[in-house]
Structure 1
Amino acid sequence: MHPNVENVAARLRELGATGQVRELPEAAPTAATAAAQLGCDVGAIANSLIFAADGEPLLVLTSGAHRVDTTGLAERIGVARIKRADPEFVRAATGQPIGGVAPLGHPEPIRTLVDEWLAKYDVVWAAAGHPHTVFPTSYDELLRLTGGTPADVA
């Protein structure tokens, strides 16, 4: 098991998560590819997107059915600017590669917003530290695991 995945699996156990890490047969760098392999609605995929909010890391867990409205979100959370982070910024903030960023298991806590749209699904799927791994959870559990704040991100 990849070290990032081992770290995420350990954090899930420590936090009493109900789901376990599952390895996918193919990489799932997008919500659509993950949903196709899992046989679920693309909206049930929790994309872990890292942004720079006034230069600080911001993790937005958004439904695969949405795009983040960075201008509106910046206004709602009181920052001047939110911009998509580059791969180096993502790896520095999370220790994980784009396409496999988990909502937890980062070197330091990251401010986290969780798309309220995900509450529509009984089961939500999130990345587990590598593009080939995911884990099942619920919206409420995702909030608990991440210490995240519910948000309208679209």
Structure 2
Amino acid sequence: MDALEHAGESRAKRRARHEAFYAVTRGQFNTLVLVGSIALAAWTQLLATAGTGGGTALTSITRNLLLVASATLLVAPLLFRNPDQEFSFLGRECLTTIGYTALILSLTSALADLFPTTGTVIATIVVAAILVTDALEARDMATMYD
């Protein structure tokens, strides 16, 4: 979106756009805390059953990725809690991307652990898709700031 696109807007229109942005940011804050808490609960359960039962099938990489995801998703809204500042928005978006990527990688690692043949193939495809998506997004960001 071009910054000059909104240059001629009235004060009321800019305020409405700002209020919509604030509502989305508030929802994102709640979602990050909820998903991070669920991931932390799942990690705790996997750690408790690591030596026995169903937890033995998963590697430590899977558990560690889940811990990174939960920590990142819980820390993002705490470090960057001011919804009105651009720095907070950028920091929260960065940590959100890292947290969700770690969560997806943890799930694909669990898939590869539980189903060694087909799970590994599916996990590899998912990881490749994540890499391509991130590369395209980085390219778009680079062209936006040229």
Classify the TM-score, shorter chain. under 0.3
Q: Which has the higher strand share?
A: 1
Q: Which structure has more RCO (C-alpha within 8 Å, separation ≥ 6)?
A: 1
Given the two structures, how large is their TM-score scaled by the length of structure 2? 0.24
